[in-house]
């Protein structure tokens, strides 16, 4: 069996950033306008008044302070409340591809690999830009990579599931080096008029080079992978081409991201903590031998709770489980890789866990060791 490594990773995120104050200010102005315009209906009980959002709630409930987004102006425009993005069009590069190329070039530089050395491209994302041709094949074409490319969707675990597929392809002899790309352009799928959802997501992209016997300075050996899924309706996006022809067709705003956040919190924290504990145990690694837990970035309290359940104490330094969520918000499947990329300056032999979890439910935990 060869050693298979995460040879390098790269990130891309938009320059534009929205603070909680800016977001709440827009949201509350929207609420004021809605309630004023619907005053008589609210008074006769036929319309429910909208409630105000608050910076304090957002920071306390989620740990999010800001998010980077593809279009700040559109999201903060109370007559629009969504980013201005473009449709997919033949002859124009997909925004997912553009983001993917930037993160990929960064990852390839860190891994010290050229396009000729790459045998395949796997795109894993929670929201694909289109059904076909695959985004991965467009990235493959733009970067002059030979071999094969395909897209896959596993909600918030798409990034780690894609790394797992790359590992399996290499282990089976199909490839020696795979580029994994994870564009998460989330804000077009968010209903910014919903108080419970408007603060959650940001946009970003990560890429990683998975390689047999990497010589990269930044390489981490993949020691073990553990995947788990369990069906739940607690996080859903019903957006689909079926709506166009559906006999029960609805306004597509109603088909976007929706979750029972409290339910997710209660189900997923114990699930992930016991999965990682079992995995460490199987690999004869004690929890206190793990230098970093690079966990999915959905909620700061969840990250802290899962870490404390694994370590068996809540007395641990904050930097064991880095939280880029504060600056970037929830980046769907790339949250754990943002945490990894920004905080992986470890010594040879140090071990860490990269773990995503979310819609499905889906969980993928990868134990790595710095070489």
Ligand X SMILES: CC(C)(COP(=O)(O)OP(=O)(O)OC[C@H]1O[C@@H](n2cnc3c(N)ncnc32)[C@H](O)[C@@H]1OP(=O)(O)O)[C@@H](O)C(=O)NCCC(=O)NCCS
What pairing do the DSSP bridges indicate for beta strands 177-184 and 120-124?
parallel
How far apart CA 290 and CA 59 sit, in angstroms, is 28
* Least gap, CB of 125 to ligand X (angstroms): 13
Give CA 65 to chain center in angstroms: 17
- The yes-or-no answer on residue 355 being catalytic is no
* Parallel/antiparallel/unpaired status of strands 17-19 and 66-68: antiparallel
Q: What is the DSSP string of 209-277?
A: EEEET---TT-EEEEEEEEEE---SSEE----THHHH-TT---GGGGS-EE-HHHHHHHHHHHHHHHHH
Contact between 7 and 112 under an 8 Å Cβ cutoff? The reply is: yes
Smallest gap from residue 196 Cβ to ligand X (A): 4
* Binding positions for ligand X, rule: CB under 6 A: 53-54, 57-58, 61-62, 156, 195-196, 199, 235, 259, 261-262, 264-265, 298-299, 302, 330, 332, 358
Question: Is the Cβ of residue 8 or residue 360 nearer to ligand X in the bound state?
Answer: 360
Which of residues 53 and 165 has its CB atom nearest to ligand X in the complex?
Answer: 53
To ligand X, the closest distance from the beta carbon of 162 in angstroms equals 16
Closest contact distance (angstroms) between CB of 8 and ligand X is: 26
Residue nearest to ligand X (CB): 261
Q: Which is nearer to ligand X, 140 or 330 (CB)?
A: 330
Out of 156, 205, 269, 364, the active site residue is 156
To the nearest whole angstrom, how small is the minimum distance from the Cβ of residue 267 to ligand X? 9
Asked if residue 205 lies in contact with residue 102, where contact means CB atoms within 8 angstroms, the answer is yes
Strand partners, 183: 205
The CB-of-341 to ligand X minimum distance in angstroms stands at 19
Q: What are phi and psi of 232, to 5 degrees?
A: -150, 145
**Exposed, middle or buried: residue 346 (CB in 10 Å: 0-12, 13-18, 19+)?**
middle
For ligand X, the closer of residues 20 and 343 by Cβ is 20
Burial 327-344 (b: 16+ CB within 10 A, else e): bbbbbbbbbbbbbbbebb
Of 161 and 167, nearer to ligand X (C-beta) is: 161
Q: How many CB atoms lie within 10 A of CB 45?
A: 7
- Would you say 53 or 159 has its CB closer to ligand X? 53
Alpha-carbon distance of 342 to 294, in angstroms, equals 10
CA pair distance 333, 341, nearest whole angstrom: 14
Catalytic residue ranges? 156
């Amino acid at each position: 069996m060869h050693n298979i490594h995460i040879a390098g990773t790269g990130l891309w995120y938009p320059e534009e950033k929205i603070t909680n104050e800016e977001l709440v200010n827009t949201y509350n102005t929207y609420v004021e306008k809605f309630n004023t315009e619907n005053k008589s209906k609210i008074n006769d009980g036929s319309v429910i008044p909208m409630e105000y959002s608050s910076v304090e709630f957002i920071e306390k409930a989620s740990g999010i302070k800001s998010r980077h987004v593809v279009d700040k102006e559109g999201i903060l425009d109370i007559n629009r409340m969504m980013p201005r993005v473009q449709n997919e069009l033949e002859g124009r590069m997909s925004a997912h591809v553009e983001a993917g190329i930037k993160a990929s070039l960064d990852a390839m530089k860190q891994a010290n690999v050229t396009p000729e050395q790459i045998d395949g491209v796997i795109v894993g994302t929670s929201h694909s830009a289109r059904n076909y041709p695959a985004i991965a094949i467009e990235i493959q074409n733009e970067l002059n990579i030979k071999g094969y490319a395909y897209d896959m969707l596993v909600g918030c675990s798409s990034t780690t599931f894609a790394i797992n597929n790359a590992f399996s392809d290499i282990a089976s002899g199909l490839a020696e080096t795979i580029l994994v790309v994870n564009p998460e352009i989330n804000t077009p799928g968010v209903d910014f008029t919903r108080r419970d959802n408007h603060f959650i997501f940001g946009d970003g992209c990560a890429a990683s080079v998975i390689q047999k016997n990497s010589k990269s300075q930044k390489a981490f050996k993949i020691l073990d992978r553990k995947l788990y899924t369990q069906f739940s309706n607690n996080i859903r996006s019903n957006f689909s081409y079926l709506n166009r022809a559906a006999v029960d067709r609805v306004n597509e705003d109603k088909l976007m991201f929706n979750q029972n956040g409290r339910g997710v919190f209660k189900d997923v924290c114990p699930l992930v903590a016991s999965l990682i504990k079992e995995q460490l145990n199987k690999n004869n690694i004690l929890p206190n031998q793990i230098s970093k837990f690079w966990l999915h970035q959905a909620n700061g309290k969840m990250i802290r709770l899962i870490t404390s359940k694994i370590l068996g104490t809540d007395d641990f330094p904050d930097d064991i489980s880095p939280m880029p969520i504060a600056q970037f918000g929830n980046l769907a499947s790339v949250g754990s890789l943002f945490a990894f990329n920004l905080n992986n300056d470890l010594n040879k032999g140090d071990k860490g866990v990269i773990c995503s979890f979310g819609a499905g439910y889906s969980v993928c935990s990868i134990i790595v060791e710095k070489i």
